[in-house]
């Protein structure tokens, strides 16, 4: 069973070659792959593209699909989010594989290289902790409100957090990234982040009803990190 997990070496770091193969091997539904990776890989607040994972395209039965190579740490994290009977076994396999790869430095040069790597990893983790602190503080504010907000209100909230983006630019970003359609209404598969509220009003020709897009607290937190990255804002 475990030989289905193809692990490759990338500059001395072991990577799970195909997250999709891991996803299928663990017993997850193939038909939900696209939705799952958008939420758990691209939407992850814990791991970063081109550091913890790399995306690539593959052709399967004349159809192009997205796949990812990821570090063992990320692989262990992802497996835990797969609610199947095999998930625990596969996580243990990745843990044991990592343990078997541990190699003590054989000379002074190798020891220095390992020390530099350890310091770089320490700095990276410290940056993640700082970023998570910012996200937690923002999340606390969102949880306190518990209200969905208009896009223009969310733009003001972002500006108060140091993310300078106006209402028009925010609407444009939502459309360009496939969250809203050209009438500024959310696509169905992103409704967990948005809410459509009806508004009824009278006209000389009768009563009419329109809908207005609001962003849920969950969406406010989800988009915060993505917009922060889009604007290139760092701690």
Band the pLDDT of 205: cuts 50, 70, 90: confident
113 pLDDT higher than 70: no
Band the pLDDT of 138: cuts 50, 70, 90: low
The residue among 173, 188, 185, 189 whose CA lies nearest residue 36 is 189
176 pLDDT higher than 90: yes
Of the listed ranges 118-127, 142-151, 213-222, the one predicted with least confidence: 118-127
> d(Cα 189, Cα 191) in Å, to the nearest integer?
6
Supply the pTM of this predicted model. Answer: 0.44
Q: Are 26 and 90 in contact (CB under 8 A)?
A: yes
């Amino acid at each position: 069973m475990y030989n289905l997990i193809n692990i490759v070496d990338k500059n001395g770091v072991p990577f799970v070659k195909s997250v999709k193969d891991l996803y299928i091997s663990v017993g997850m539904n193939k038909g939900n792959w696209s939705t799952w990776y958008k939420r758990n890989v691209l939407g992850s607040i814990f791991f970063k593209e081109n550091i913890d994972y790399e995306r690539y395209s593959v052709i399967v039965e004349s159809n192009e699909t997205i796949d990812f190579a990821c570090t063992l740490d990320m692989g262990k994290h992802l497996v835990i989010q797969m609610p199947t009977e095999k998930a625990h076994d596969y996580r243990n396999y990745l843990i044991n594989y990592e343990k078997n790869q541990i190699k003590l430095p054989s000379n002074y040069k190798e020891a220095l290289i390992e020390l530099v790597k350890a310091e770089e990893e320490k700095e990276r983790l410290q940056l993640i902790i700082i970023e998570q602190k910012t996200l937690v503080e923002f999340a606390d504010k969102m949880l306190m409100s518990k209200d969905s907000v208009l896009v223009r209100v969310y733009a003001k909230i972002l500006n108060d957090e140091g993310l300078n983006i106006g209402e028009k630019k925010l609407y444009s970003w939502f459309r360009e990234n496939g969250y809203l359609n050209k009438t500024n209404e959310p696509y169905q598969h992103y409704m967990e982040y948005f809410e459509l509220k009806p508004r009824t009003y009278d006209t000389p020709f009768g009563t009419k009803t329109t809908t207005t897009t609001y962003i849920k607290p969950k969406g406010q937190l989800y988009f915060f990190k993505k917009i922060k990255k889009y604007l290139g804002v760092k701690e």
